[in-house]
Chains A and B, each alone.
Chain A
Amino acid sequence: SSELTQPPSVSVSPGQTASITCSGNKLGNKYTSWYQQKPGQSPVLVIYQDTKRPSGIPERFSGSNSGDTATLTISGTQAMDEADYYCQAWDTSTAWVFGGGTKLTVL
């Protein structure tokens, strides 16, 4: 079982804001990344170091991390954002761990 807990699914209407949470013990003390994965494709990094966006990732993707919860927020969600999203945490003692994933549906 995963040490990071994500909701299995989140639904959002086009143009609205989607929030996907990731919970873990003292997660705020670790670096958290988020990955988007569409069917049949490799994961793509959308947020790293809690809040940073790689080049090429739209500004509508943002992240936060505090206490036991990290959150990926997608503002003005578009149909193309429909995908599975995974959080991932890292620190020097526990190495890497992934959340179970959240299926984002845009309807």
Chain B
Amino acid sequence: QVQMVQSGAEVKKPGASVKVSCKTSGYTFITYGISWVRQAPGQGLEWMGWISAYNGNTNYAQKFQDRVTMTTDTSTGTAYMELRSLRSDDTAVYYCARASGGVGTFDSWGQGTLVTVSS
């Protein structure tokens, strides 16, 4: 079955960077994209961006365009999301999700990674 296992919780200081990983299994990695979605405490879901595991093409939400980089390692089936210049309002649970091409749905999700930004 499809599995998406994310890296563990992180605590960062304002201005630092964080890199979250998402290791996939149970499907052919390059046949789907990966999106990253975050959820601040008590808030809703916020789409951050998407990367094609096939060719590395990316589509970032305008809000994060200057601070986020999404990459993949096809040899290990792992996706990465790096967020720079962290602020306190970046404190959130970050999810990776498998994006089904053509219908724009997220059919499998990682367990989430809590990133806490605090001085």
In the complex the two chains form, what is the Cα distance from A54 to B119 in whole Å?
A: 43
Checking B46, B105, B111 against A45 with a beta-carbon cut-off of 8 angstroms, the contacting residue is B105
Checking A49, A86, A97 against B105 with a beta-carbon cut-off of 8 angstroms, the contacting residue is A49
Interface pair B46/A54, CB less than 8 Å apart: no
Interface string of A16-34 (1 = CB under 8 A from B): 0000000000000011010
Interface of B (DSSP majority class): strand
Checking A54, A96, A100 against B44 with a beta-carbon cut-off of 8 angstroms, the contacting residue is A100
Q: How many residues of B contact A (CB 8 A)?
A: 22
- List A contacts of B59 (CB < 8 A): 95
13 contacts between A and B (CB under 8 A): A35-B106, A42-B112, A43-B95, A43-B106, A45-B105, A48-B100, A48-B103, A49-B105, A54-B107, A88-B105, A96-B50, A97-B47, A98-B45
**Which chain B residues have a beta carbon within 8 Å of chain A's beta carbons?**
35, 37, 44-47, 50, 59, 61, 95, 97, 100, 103-112
